[in-house]
């Protein structure tokens, strides 16, 4: 059985479809064995892919933005969608069942852990008339 080395940039429940693919035996049905790992903190799984240490990585499409902004081709191609919706949450100090994104107008918001959450937050805000 061929081994496929798969690495995540960070572990997140939102990437569970990929984890389930391995744990559920779906790769084995195709004659493949999945070997999962998580990149060291602060290191992109793309680095392991480019070194040849892994065969497949889970990474956010935002990892290609820096290359694109410099007019260069990204070092890797994102070719599969893992989930249909963004997996990030907005959390507040107090519960508010009537919350809408409009409530954030004029407020300071902290967006944590990487470029993709910030890009997706900005996208959602712009779609709702906030900037």
pLDDT tens digits along 98-116: 998 889 888 888 887 667 7
User: What's the mean pLDDT in 37-41?
Assistant: 89
Q: Answer for the pair 5, 53: CB distance below 8 angstroms, yes or no.
A: yes
When mean pLDDT is compared over 4-13, 43-52, 57-66, the highest value belongs to 43-52
pLDDT band at 119 (very low <50, low <70, confident <90, very high): confident
> Do 116 and 61 meet the contact criterion of CB atoms below 8 Å apart?
yes
CATH 3.40.50 boundaries in the chain: 2-69
pLDDT of residue 31: 95
User: Does the pTM of the predicted model rise above 0.95?
Assistant: no
Dihedrals phi, psi of 130, to nearest 5 degrees: -105, 150
pLDDT over 90 (residue 51): yes
**pLDDT score of 83 more than 80:** no
pLDDT computed for residue 114 by the predictor: 66
- 114 versus 6: the higher-pLDDT residue is 6
Tell me how far CA of residue 18 lies from CA of 36, 37, 52, 79, in angstroms.
10, 12, 20, 14
The mean pLDDT value for 75-101 works out to: 80
Write down the architecture of domain 2-69 according to CATH. Answer: 3-Layer(aba) Sandwich (3.40)
């Amino acid at each position: 059985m061929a081994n496929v080395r798969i690495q995540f940039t960070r572990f997140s429940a939102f990437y569970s479809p990929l984890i389930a693919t391995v744990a559920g035996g779906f790769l084995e049905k195709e004659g493949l064995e999945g070997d999962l790992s998580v990149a060291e903190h602060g290191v992109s799984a793309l680095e392991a892919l480019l070194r040849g240490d892994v065969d497949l990585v889970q990474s956010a499409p935002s990892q290609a933005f820096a290359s694109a902004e410099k007019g260069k081709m990204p070092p890797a191609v994102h070719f599969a969608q893992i989930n249909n919706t963004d997996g990030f949450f907005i959390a507040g100090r107090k519960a508010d069942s009537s919350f809408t994104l409009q409530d954030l107008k004029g407020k300071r918001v902290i967006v944590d852990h990487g470029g993709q959450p910030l890009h997706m937050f900005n996208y959602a805000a712009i779609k709702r008339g906030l900037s």
